C-alpha cells in the first residue's frame, strides 16, 4: 500500500516544521490500491459485514453536536454514520498500514527505544453529516497513561476539503503543553484569549496524503457539507515504556507495530 517514493522522502524539513508548528505535511504515501482496500474495509466494519472482536465503535450524533453524542453504546447495527472506530490494529489491513516502513522511519526518528501505539482510530464524517468537534488536545489525565505521547500520524482515506470538515489547527499551541491537566477540550476562555477564530488554519488534504499532528496542538474539525464521506486514520505512536494507569479494569497492553530494536 506504500508508495515507493516515500523511501526517498527527506524528513528533515517536515520534522523541523512539526517541531515549530505542531503539524507538518508528509505528502501522499498511500497508493490507490491501498486507498480502495482501506475504504472497503471501513465500510465492511461499519455495515457488520466483517466482525472483529474488541473494536470500539462510537455512533455519530444525529444533530452534529458533540454534546449530543451517546457514549458507551458501541456498535448499534449496520450504518455509515459512526463517528469513530478504534483498536484498528486488530484488523489485518489496518495493521499493515499502521506498521508500514515510512511511518516506522518517522516514529523512530522522534521516539527513542521500542515503540507502541496508544490508539489507531478511524475518524468518520458521513456524507452531509458528522459531528462538530471543538478545539481540543489529545492527551491529559483522561488518557490514563504515565507519559504524554506527542506524535500522531494522520492519513486521509478520502479527499478532505474544507467543506468536508477538514482538520483545523492553531499553529504553535503545542509549545504551551496541556491547557488543563485533564486534557481534551480547551476551555473557551483560553481560545478567546488568543482569538482562535481569527488564527484557525484549515489543513485540507487529498486522499492518501499524510499529516503529522502533535498531541498537544489545539485542533478541531467541523461537519461534512459534501456528498462524499470524509474518513481519516490517526495513529498515536509513543514509547513502549508507557504504562496504563487505569485501575478499574486490567491495565491496557499497548500494541507494538514494529520489530523490537536490536
Model confidence at 70: pLDDT above 90 = no
Domain count, the chain: 1
Query: What mean pLDDT is reported for the chain?
Result: 96
> Domain of 196?
11-239
Could you read off the pLDDT of 149-183 as tens digits, one per residue? 999 999 999 999 999 999 999 999 999 999 999 99
pLDDT at 155: 98
Model confidence at 248: pLDDT above 90 = no
Please report whether residue 250 resides in a domain: no
pLDDT at 213: 98
Q: Write the CATH number for 185.
A: 2.60.120.620
pTM, rounded to two decimals: 0.96
Please report whether residue 6 resides in a domain: no
Could you read off the pLDDT of 82-126 as tens digits, one per residue? 999 999 999 999 999 999 999 999 999 999 999 999 999 999 999
Please report whether residue 1 resides in a domain: no
Please report whether residue 46 resides in a domain: yes
Model confidence at 220: pLDDT above 90 = yes
Instruction: Name the band, by pLDDT with cuts 50, 70 and 90, for residue 246.
Output: confident
Please report whether residue 48 resides in a domain: yes
Please report whether residue 244 resides in a domain: no
Please report whether residue 29 resides in a domain: yes
pLDDT at 71: 83
- Pairwise CA distance, residues 237 & 210, whole Å: 15
Please report whether residue 126 resides in a domain: yes
First-to-last CA distance in the chain? 26
Amino acid at each position: 500500500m506504500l508508495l515507493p517514493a516515500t523511501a526517498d522522502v527527506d524528513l528533515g524539513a517536515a520534522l523541523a516544521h512539526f517541531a515549530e508548528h505542531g503539524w507538518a505535511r508528509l505528502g501522499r504515501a498511500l497508493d490507490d490500491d491501498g486507498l480502495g482496500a482501506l475504504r472497503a474495509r471501513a465500510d465492511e466494519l461499519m455495515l457488520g459485514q466483517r466482525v472483529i472482536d474488541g473494536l470500539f465503535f462510537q455512533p455519530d450524533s444525529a444533530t452534529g453536536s458533540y454534546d449530543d453524542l451517546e457514549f458507551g453504546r458501541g456498535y448499534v447495527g449496520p450504518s455509515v454514520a459512526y463517528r469513530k472506530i478504534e483498536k484498528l490494529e486488530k484488523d489485518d489491513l489496518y495493521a499493515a498500514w499502521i506498521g508500514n516502513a515510512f511511518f516506522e522511519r518517522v516514529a523512530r526518528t522522534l521516539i527513542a527505544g521500542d515503540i507502541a501505539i496508544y490508539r489507531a482510530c478511524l475518524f468518520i464524517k458521513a456524507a452531509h453529516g458528522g459531528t462538530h468537534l471543538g478545539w481540543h488536545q489529545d492527551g491529559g489525565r483522561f488518557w490514563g497513561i504515565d507519559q504524554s505521547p506527542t506524535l500522531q500520524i494522520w492519513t486521509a482515506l478520502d479527499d478532505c476539503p474544507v467543506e468536508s470538515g477538514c482538520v483545523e489547527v492553531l499553529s504553535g499551541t503545542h509549545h504551551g503543553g496541556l491547557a488543563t491537566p485533564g486534557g481534551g477540550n480547551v476551555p473557551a476562555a483560553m481560545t478567546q484569549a488568543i482569538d482562535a477564530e481569527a488564527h484557525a488554519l484549515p489543513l485540507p488534504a487529498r486522499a492518501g496524503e499524510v499529516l503529522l499532528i502533535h498531541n498537544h496542538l489545539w485542533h478541531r474539525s467541523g461537519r461534512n457539507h459534501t456528498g462524499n464521506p470524509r474518513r481519516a486514520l490517526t495513529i498515536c505512536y509513543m514509547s513502549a515504556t508507557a504504562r496504563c494507569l487505569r485501575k478499574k479494569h486490567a491495565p491496557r497492553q499497548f500494541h507494538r507495530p514494529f520489530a523490537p530494536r536490536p
